């Protein structure tokens, strides 16, 4: 017995004898309102995953529009002619007040940063794909605390509503880091900054609850026979992420709470004018916000591990190394925050944090080498998810490598607060996390929706995103090394060409994403019905129906092979179209002859 | 302590014949665990693990406040050394005793639930809630109130005319933030325990099902523990 037994025929009263038939989770409830109410009160991890996905993609759209506005402004530097006329204020121009345009520019990049970090990238993969697939991959019926899961969704929604409210109130200009005393003293008479900080605080709660839920789920709800090292690597990634979410987020929680106290009640903790200390704020902020970059990237790494193994149809190389590297990254993440504050620390402090930061590169490199080794001699299928996985490898390697000159004190002195940093973190956050999310979305889309998408169109969009990304951000490495500081609406003339190229890139990117949206909408509207296991993958989520039924599996699955045991379950040259898998005994024989 | 006694787990899913008896059984014995857990024990363990993780987040939240305390104490030694002179250790000490008693009754409540001592369970839950209320009242009426009136306030609100040190507003900022956030936790804990009390009156908890009581008590112990650290740091160290 090598296949996983989820036979629907067995045990008609299975699963604690729920009286009703198990329908696809997407089935309507008879009428628009009953269906709507069903979705709004659901505790089904799949529906919650889908709702998160929709919300996150919507906010990604808002954040993206803000980004296009930022690039728009930078198309042309602001020039003041001898007669006082101002040109180049493309976002907003007011001949009376030259600074008005700058304020709008500052708001645009702040809204972009805050939305993308707190509402898109941090919850991104765990809340959407994680919610949907973590229980399925473990062979469970749901997460450990389904009602808590619904609660964290509403908390997320509340946080996002505050974020949107701030947009409607014209936005804030503090930067996504809310550095004090700027964030506690400017924009007096308005509540916008408070709302924005409150949004981040509330979203943190949602993040903690989701993380807690996932940790317990992984501990308690693995299918019978699934040991820790039988878990798919995506689960490891989500697990390590959840641990960081639980341990780091409370610190930003208290920090933001104190910031709100300070702003509303004028309590002096961070504002020097009130006896506080702004560097304390920076320590608190980065103690969370460095670990959180691994909250952003670890789930992405998990997706990439799945996609590369499945689409190369090979046992993942160094399973344990990848799993432990996730935990290693999670551990090191907590001791390197100081590298964001080299400018506000003692020399000794800087040296220590610089040395520690280099440690991060080790587990990261371990993973990259393992993925490449997995592809070696695999039978690679260049599907859309696989293309995105390759894009990930390329972009993330550049992002990781450019972190090293930033971690080196002497070079960071020059590069700090320049476009080099901007390019670095876009290569890791966008080139890493967002690209991984796209890989995962295309990998699991057929399972989630029950529909196929047009692969050719998706591949073209992938190419657009890849080209657009590099045109936009590679140029920014040059801008940074040449001395262009970040967060300015204007610049000396000699930077204009590079800025224009970068803006052009942002349009290509926008086009690519619009294309993806069209492909997805087309797939839902007119896509062919998807097969249960279109890629011939071995992890448990593909054992469910397509789309999965409300209780996921007709019968509790029993694990009988590892997540990547292609060598023993799949014969050479086997095509996923031929699913289900042939008799395992035969496969073993073929493999024996083959060697 | 964590194991749940007797009650074969297959039973709640039995045939219709069982349901007639079931109606006569107390509420806690009729409890059916979530369908995604294999057994009721599994569910209990999961809930407890979840609670411990949540407590870890609370510890980290307060760690931020303790860090600020340490940081400012180091930065403004004078103001902080003098700060505790403004606080009356007797009120703080009384509140410590109140919380310790309530922690004891909270622990007893869990024991009562395990032993099906329904009356004692309700009584102990209620005493715990009352102690929590007493703590908040003492804090508000005998400490916050008079201090605020004298101008011993945080940050910009500070207006105490006889300050010894220019940095005293920072001391009060830390004092009010730390004790205020702690008091908020006391209120949340009281709400949780009161909900347990109301449900206990309907017989919701007993030997095979007392997850909520256990978790609320754990939360209460944490709130208590944090006060045990705040008390010496704020009231006793000069
Ligand atoms: C090999 C791994 C990495 C190293 C050595 C590294 C190093 C650094 C350093 C030293 C800085 C500070 C630069 C400065 O302000 O002067 C920085 C900034 C940043 N990094 Fe990384 N990094 C790495 C990976 C990542 C990853 C995986 C992410 C996110 C997914 C990330 C996100 C960021 C962000 C957002 C900033 C800028 C924050 C801001 O000032 O707004 N980094 N990185
Ligand atoms: Cu960092």
pLDDT tens per residue, chain A (595 residues)? 334 444 443 343 444 444 456 889 998 888 899 999 999 999 999 999 999 999 999 999 999 999 999 999 999 998 888 887 888 888 888 777 777 888 899 999 999 999 999 999 999 999 999 999 999 999 999 999 999 999 999 999 999 999 999 989 988 999 999 998 889 888 888 899 999 999 999 999 999 999 999 999 999 999 988 999 999 999 999 999 999 999 999 999 999 999 998 888 888 889 888 888 999 999 999 999 999 999 999 999 999 999 999 999 889 999 999 999 988 888 898 999 999 999 888 889 999 999 999 998 899 999 999 999 999 988 889 999 999 999 999 999 999 999 999 999 999 999 999 999 999 999 999 999 999 999 999 999 999 999 999 999 999 999 999 999 999 999 999 999 999 999 999 999 999 999 999 999 999 999 999 999 999 999 999 999 998 888 988 899 998 999 999 989 988 887 878 899 887 777 767 776 666 776 666 666 666 665 5
- Alpha-carbon separation of residue A553 from A3, A140, A142, A534, A540 (angstroms): 14, 8, 11, 18, 10
Ligand nearest to the CA of A363: 1
Number of Cβ within 10 Å of residue A227's Cβ equals: 9
Q: Which of A373, A276, A271, A277 is nearest to A322 (CA)?
A: A373
Instruction: Locate the ligand 1 atom nearest the alpha carbon of residue A113 and give its number.
Output: 41
The verdict on a CB contact (< 8 Å) between A213 and B68 is no
Residue B24, chain A, CB below 8 Å: the answer is no
**Residue nearest atom 35 of ligand 1, based on CA coordinates:** A425
Residue B177, chain A, CB below 8 Å: the answer is yes
Residue B34 lies in a domain: no
Alpha-carbon distance of A169 to A473, in angstroms, equals: 30
pLDDT: which is higher, A260 or B17: A260
Residue B90 lies in a domain: yes
Alpha helices for B2-39 (secondary structure H) = 16-24, 27-30
Alpha-carbon distance of B17 to B24, in angstroms, equals: 13
Burial A506-521 (b: 16+ CB within 10 A, else e): bebbbebbebbeebbe
The verdict on a CB contact (< 8 Å) between A284 and B37 is no
User: pTM for the whole thing?
Assistant: 0.90
What DSSP string describes B189-215?
HHHHHHHHHHHHHTT--BTTB-HHHHH
Alpha-carbon distance of A159 to A196, in angstroms, equals: 9
What confidence score (pLDDT) does residue A378 get?
86
Count Cβ atoms within 10 A of the Cβ of residue A280 and give its class: 0-12 exposed, 13-18 middle, 19 or more buried.
buried
What confidence score (pLDDT) does residue A583 get?
67
Instruction: Locate the ligand 1 atom nearest the alpha carbon of residue A396 and give its number.
Output: 27
Number of Cβ within 10 Å of residue B20's Cβ equals: 8
What confidence score (pLDDT) does residue B20 get?
56
Tokens of A381: 């299928």
Q: Which of A12, A17, A280, A241 is nearest to B69 (CA)?
A: A280
The CATH architecture of the domain made up of A44-63+97-289 is Up-down Bundle (1.20)
Q: Which of A185, A150, A151, A189 is nearest to A169 (CA)?
A: A189
- In A, minimum Cα distance to B166 occurs at A275
Pocket test residue of A70, A174, A411, A424 for ligand 1, highest count of atoms within 8 A of CB: A424
**Residue nearest atom 33 of ligand 1, based on CA coordinates:** A425
Q: Tell me A555's DSSP state.
A: S
Alpha-carbon distance of B157 to B176, in angstroms, equals: 12
pLDDT(B18) > 70? no
**Residue nearest atom 29 of ligand 1, based on CA coordinates:** A293
What DSSP string describes A79-106?
EE-TTS-EE---S---TT-HHHHHHHHH
User: ipTM for the complex?
Assistant: 0.87
User: Are residues B155 and B91 in contact, defined by beta-carbon separation less than 8 angstroms?
Assistant: no
User: Are residues B135 and B84 in contact, defined by beta-carbon separation less than 8 angstroms?
Assistant: no
pLDDT(B1) > 50? no
Alpha-carbon distance of A137 to A445, in angstroms, equals: 15
Strands, E assignment, A467-545: none
Is A418 strand, coil or helix? strand
Least Cα separation, residue B226 to chain A (angstroms)? 15
Can you give B99-161 as a three-state secondary structure string? HHHHHHHHHHHHHHHHCCCHHHHHHHHHHHHHHHHHHHHHHHHHHHHHHHHHCCCCHHHCCCC
First to last CA, chain B: 42
Alpha-carbon distance of A164 to A91, in angstroms, equals: 20
CATH number for B113? 1.20.120.80
Q: Sketch the domain layout of chain A as residue ranges.
A: 44-63+97-289, 531-595
What confidence score (pLDDT) does residue B22 get?
63
What confidence score (pLDDT) does residue A590 get?
67
What confidence score (pLDDT) does residue B7 get?
42
Alpha-carbon distance of A112 to B220, in angstroms, equals: 41
* Boundaries of domain holding B73: 43-235
Tokens of A564: 């990547």
Least Cα separation, residue A261 to chain B (angstroms)? 8
The verdict on a CB contact (< 8 Å) between A220 and B46 is yes
What confidence score (pLDDT) does residue A202 get?
95
Residue B222, chain A, CB below 8 Å: the answer is no
What confidence score (pLDDT) does residue A562 get?
86
Residue B179 lies in a domain: yes
A552 lines ligand 1 (CB under 6 A): no
Mean of pLDDT values over B57-69: 94
A340 lines ligand 1 (CB under 6 A): yes
The verdict on a CB contact (< 8 Å) between A246 and B63 is no
Q: B199 CB contacts (<8 Å, ≥6 apart)?
A: B205, B212
Give ∠ CA A419-A425-A426 in degrees, rounded to 5. Answer: 85
Q: Which residue has the tokens 């400490």?
A: B143
Q: In total, how many domains does chain B have?
A: 1
Of A216, A274, A277, the CB nearest to B156: A274
- Tally helices (H) and strands (E) across chain A: 21, 2
What confidence score (pLDDT) does residue A560 get?
76
């Amino acid at each position: 017995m090598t296949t996983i037994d989820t036979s629907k025929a067995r045990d008609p009263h299975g699963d604690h004898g729920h009286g009703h038939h198990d329908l696809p989770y997407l089935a309507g409830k008879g009428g628009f309102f009953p269906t709507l109410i069903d979705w709004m009160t659901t505790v089904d991890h799949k529906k919650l995953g889908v709702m998160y996905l929709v919300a996150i993609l919507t906010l990604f759209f808002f954040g993206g529009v803000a980004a296009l506005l930022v690039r728009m402004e930078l198309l042309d530097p602001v020039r003041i002619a001898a007669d006082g006329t101002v040109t180049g204020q493309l976002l907003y121009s007011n001949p009376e007040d030259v600074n008005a345009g700058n304020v709008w520019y500052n708001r645009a990049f702040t809204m972009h940063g805050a939305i993308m970090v707190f509402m898109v990238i941090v919850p991104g993969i765990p809340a959407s794909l994680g919610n949907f697939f973590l229980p399925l991959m473990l062979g469970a019926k749901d997460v450990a605390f389904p009602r808590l899961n619904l609660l964290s969704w509403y908390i997320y929604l509340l946080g996002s509503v505050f974020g949107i409210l701030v947009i409607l109130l014209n936005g804030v200009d503090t930067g996504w880091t809310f550095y004090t005393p700027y964030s506690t003293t400017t924009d007096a008479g308005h509540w916008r900054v408070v709302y924005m900080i409150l949004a981040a605080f509330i979203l943190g709660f949602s993040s903690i609850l989701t993380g807690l839920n996932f940790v317990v789920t992984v501990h308690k709800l693995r299918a019978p026979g699934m040991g820790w090292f039988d878990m798919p690597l995506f689960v490891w990634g989500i697990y390590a992420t959840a641990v960081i979410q639980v341990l780091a987020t409370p610190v930003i929680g208290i920090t933001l709470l104190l910031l709100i106290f300070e702003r509303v009640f004028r309590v002096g903790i961070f504002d020097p004018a009130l006896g506080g200390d702004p560097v304390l704020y920076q320590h608190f902020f980065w103690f969370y916000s460095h670990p959180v970059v691994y909250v952003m990237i670890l789930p992405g790494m998990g997706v990439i591990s799945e996609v590369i193994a499945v689409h190369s149809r090979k046992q993942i190389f160094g399973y344990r190394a990848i799993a432990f590297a996730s935990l290693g990254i999670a551990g090191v993440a907590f001791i390197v925050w100081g590298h964001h504050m080299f400018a506000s620390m003692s020399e000794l402090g800087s040296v220590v944090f610089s040395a520690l930061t280099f440690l991060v590169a080790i587990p990261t490199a371990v993973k990259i080498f393992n993925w490449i080794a997995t592809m070696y001699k695999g039978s690679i299928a260049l599907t859309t998810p696989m293309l995105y996985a390759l894009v990930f490898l390329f972009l993330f390697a550049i992002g990781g490598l450019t972190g090293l000159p930033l971690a080196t004190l002497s070079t960071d002195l020059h590069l700090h607060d320049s476009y080099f940093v901007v390019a670095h973190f876009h290569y890791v956050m966008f080139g890493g996390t967002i690209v991984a999310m796209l890989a995962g979305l295309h990998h699991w889309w057929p399972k989630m929706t029950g529909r196929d998408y047009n692969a050719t169109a998706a591949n073209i969009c992938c190419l657009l995103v890849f080209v657009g990304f590099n045109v936009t951000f590679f140029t920014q490495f040059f801008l940074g090394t040449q001395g262009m500081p970040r967060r300015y609406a204007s610049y000396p003339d000699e930077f204009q060409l590079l800025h224009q190229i970068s803006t052009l890139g942002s349009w290509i990117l926008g086009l690519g994403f619009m294309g993806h949206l069209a492909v997805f909408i087309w797939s839902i509207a007119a896509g062919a019905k998807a097969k249960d296991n279109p890629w011939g993958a071995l992890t448990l989520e593909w054992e469910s129906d397509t789309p999965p039924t409300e209780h996921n599996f007709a019968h509790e699955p029993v694990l009988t092979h590892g997540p990547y045991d292609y060598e023993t379950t799949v014969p050479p040259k086997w095509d996923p179209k031929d699913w289900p898998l042939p008799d395992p005994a035969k496969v073993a024989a073929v493999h024996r002859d083959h060697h | 302590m964590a194991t749940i006694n007797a009650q074969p787990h297959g039973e709640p899913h039995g045939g219709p014949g069982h349901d007639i008896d079931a109606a006569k059984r107390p509420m806690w014995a009729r409890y059916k665990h979530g369908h995604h857990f294999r057994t009721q024990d599994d569910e209990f363990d999961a809930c407890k693990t979840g609670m411990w993780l949540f407590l870890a987040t609370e510890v980290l939240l307060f760690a931020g406040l303790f860090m600020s305390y340490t940081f400012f104490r180091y930065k403004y030694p004078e103001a902080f050394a003098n700060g505790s002179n403004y606080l009356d250790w007797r009120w703080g000490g009384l509140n410590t005793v109140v919380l310790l008693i309530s922690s004891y009754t909270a622990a007893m409540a869990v024991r009562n639930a395990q032993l099906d001592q329904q009356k004692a369970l309700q009584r102990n839950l209620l005493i715990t809630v009352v102690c929590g209320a007493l703590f908040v009242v003492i804090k508000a009426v005998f400490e916050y109130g008079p201090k605020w009136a004298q101008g011993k306030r945080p940050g910009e609100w500070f207006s105490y005319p006889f300050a010894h040190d220019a940095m005293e507003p920072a001391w009060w900022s830390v004092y009010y933030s730390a004790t205020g956030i702690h008091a908020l936790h006391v209120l949340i804990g009281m709400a949780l325990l009161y909900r347990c009390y109301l449900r206990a009156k309907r017989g919701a908890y007993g030997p095979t099902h007392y997850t909520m009581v256990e978790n609320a008590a754990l939360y209460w112990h944490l709130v208590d523990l944090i006060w045990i650290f705040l008390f010496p740091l704020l009231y006793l160290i000069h």
